[in-house]
Chains A and B, each alone.
Chain A
Amino acid sequence: MKHYEVEILDARTRDKLCFLDKVEPQATVADIKNLFSKAHPQWYPARQSLRLDPKGRSLKDEDVLQSLPVGTTATLYFRDLGAQISWVTVFLTEYAGPLLIYLLFYFRVPFLYGPRYDFTASRHRVVHLACCCHSFHYVKRLLETLFVHRFSHGTMPLRNIFKNCTYYWGFAAWMAYYINHPLYTPPAYGDDQVKLALAVFLFCQLGNFSIHVALRNLRPAGSKTRKIPYPTRNPFTWLFLLVSCPNYTYEVGSWIGFTIMTQCLPVALFSLVGFVQMAIWAQGKHRSYLREFRDYPPLRSPIIPFLL
């Protein structure tokens, strides 16, 4: 069996960082990363980007050495992706925050509102309902992170956690402040408005969960395969006929429901910002589906049927 030699150069300075000899042809890029980190322990595999061309795309961990367009002496270029943090950690942190922060405002913990309101309860039923919905939403997200989602990337750059947490925690505090405020004004159309909003919210929560489960089932445990998602027997997944990322569609729907329920402008703004971000992600995902699969269903739009 012929062994490969792998030399790893810095993508920017072209310095020779590492030379590996006697690498098995069936070694994967992940194996090479492990070997590289032995020589440079500060660059653990998650923060390594190895590529064939200094300005090219990163090689995937699953790529096998002998299937790459290299001779028996392969030259790979290394870029440091910076400190990494696992997706699971980021998700848990960014979702636990809103859950707790909202409750602080709901229970009117001291220093948030005037002292005479400390630990009092709102006299509006919708405020209690809103707390249940908001808390349910984030508990659902936490549980999905732990038990449902299958992440294709293990990590993301460390600075993302600060950015993401500021966004989620900041908006949660801003919304919770008004909804649980002693001077909160309940919805103009009363119980009818709240009932409709609750129905929309629950429908979309179920929808979103159904999509997450469907996506999970597309991918066997531990694999990073990508397949076209299709509708299953669950009616909530039938939205796949019209949209590439129905999970985002349902998510926006949930927040619209919550906006109607609370009739609170900050919630509307949060929904809007979230929608813009998810639309951008959906466009990207849709485009990468189109690139990867020749037979991708042409009827589908990224996030809103027929429109966006």
Chain B
Amino acid sequence: MAAAGGGSRADNGYGGQQARRRKGPGALATGYLVIYNVVMTAGWLVIAVGLVRAYLAKGSYHSLYYSIEKPLKFFQTGALLEILHCALGIVPSSVVLTAFQVMSRVFLTWAVTHSVKEVQTEDSVLLFVVAWTITEIIRYSFYTFSLLNHLPYLIKWARYTLFIVLYPMGVSGELLTIYAALPFVRQSGLYSISLPNKYNFSFDYYTFLILVMISYIPIFPQLYFHMLHQRRKVLSHTEEHKKSE
């Protein structure tokens, strides 16, 4: 669900193409953000390269998770900083929306894939890791170029087009992984607490995961159609701009 290129962000980037009255990041913030986005682009490239090398070395695409486990955890968790960026106002996006998207990625990385070791060999993990990797490389380079006011059309096109395939691909990988985790969660009682206990509280992680899966049903179409709508706006705007040149 968070596989797409940050669907609800201020999609026209910081390119300054829109006559926004917002203050925008100062020079220091811009410098920091460029570094942040370059580092993240590099990080996800490392993951991409790691996947390719592991595939070539093993000769199969199964169980590639282990070869990129550490950089995946590091760079995906690092994205939590983006919530801070919104809260500080150096990025013109909604804190709530960004938090929601980043948290859902972090949830999948830690609370599902890391926590339920048995799913780490599932092919569905590769499905969402590949989707995330391609999406993030494009997304972070998009932000980098936008901040430098030099956005190649190819990157913009890629960001607003590839999601059409990557987003459903990522969502499928995520859902299949959660589904695969269910029996192991049920069996081990992972993250669950049952009555009686002195806090008079109970939590069933198995049921929680099922509710998470169900929540994809209303949320995914909304985000997907939002991105499609953004695509029409952004890419047609550029077409007109190009025509008038």
Does B200 belong to the interface (CB within 8 Å)?
A: yes
**Structural contact, A178 and B201, CB atoms closer than 8 A:** yes
Bound form: Cα–Cα A265–B196 in Å: 13
> Does A264 lie within 8 Å of B196, measured CB to CB?
no
Cβ proximity bits A260-277 to B, threshold 8 Å, 1 near / 0 not:
001111100000000000
Closest chain A residue to B202 by CB distance? A178
Is B74 an interface position by the 8 A CB rule?
no
Interface residue B188 (Cβ < 8 Å from any Cβ of A) = no
Is A185 within 8 A of B201, CB to CB? no
CB distance A183 to B201 under 8 Å? no
B195 sits at the interface (CB 8 A): yes
Chain A 162-205 per-residue mask, 1 if CB under 8 angstroms from chain B, else 0: 00000000000000001101011100100000000000000000
- In Å, the complex CA distance between A148 and B162 comes to 60
Give the number of residues in A that approach B within 8 Å (Cβ atoms): 12
Minimal beta-carbon separation of B195 from chain A (angstroms): 4
B15–chain A nearest beta-carbon distance, Å: 28
Q: Are A179 and B198 in contact (CB under 8 A)?
A: no
A188 to B195 alpha-carbon distance, docked (Å) = 15
Given the complex of chains A and B, what is the CA–CA distance between A54 and B197 in angstroms? 58
Q: Are A265 and B195 in contact (CB under 8 A)?
A: no
Q: For residue A179, which residues in chain B have a CB less than 8 angstroms away from its CB? A: 200
Distance (whole angstroms) from the CB of B10 to the closest CB of chain A: 22
Quick check: A184 and B198 within 8 Å, CB to CB? no
Indicate if the CB atoms of A183 and B199 lie closer than 8 Å. no
Within 8 A of B (CB), among A44-103: none
Docked pose: A137 CA to B197 CA in angstroms:
27
Nearest chain B residue, comparing its CB with the CB of A178: B200
A264 contacts B195, CB within 8 Å? no
Top 9 closest pairs, chain A to chain B, by CB: A265-B201, A183-B195, A183-B196, A264-B200, A265-B199, A178-B200, A185-B196, A185-B198, A185-B200
Q: What are 29 A-B pairs with beta-carbon distances under 8 A? A: A178-B195, A178-B200, A178-B201, A178-B202, A179-B200, A181-B195, A181-B200, A183-B195, A183-B196, A184-B195, A184-B196, A184-B200, A185-B196, A185-B197, A185-B198, A185-B200, A188-B198, A262-B200, A263-B198, A263-B199, A263-B200, A264-B199, A264-B200, A264-B201, A265-B199, A265-B200, A265-B201, A266-B200, A266-B201
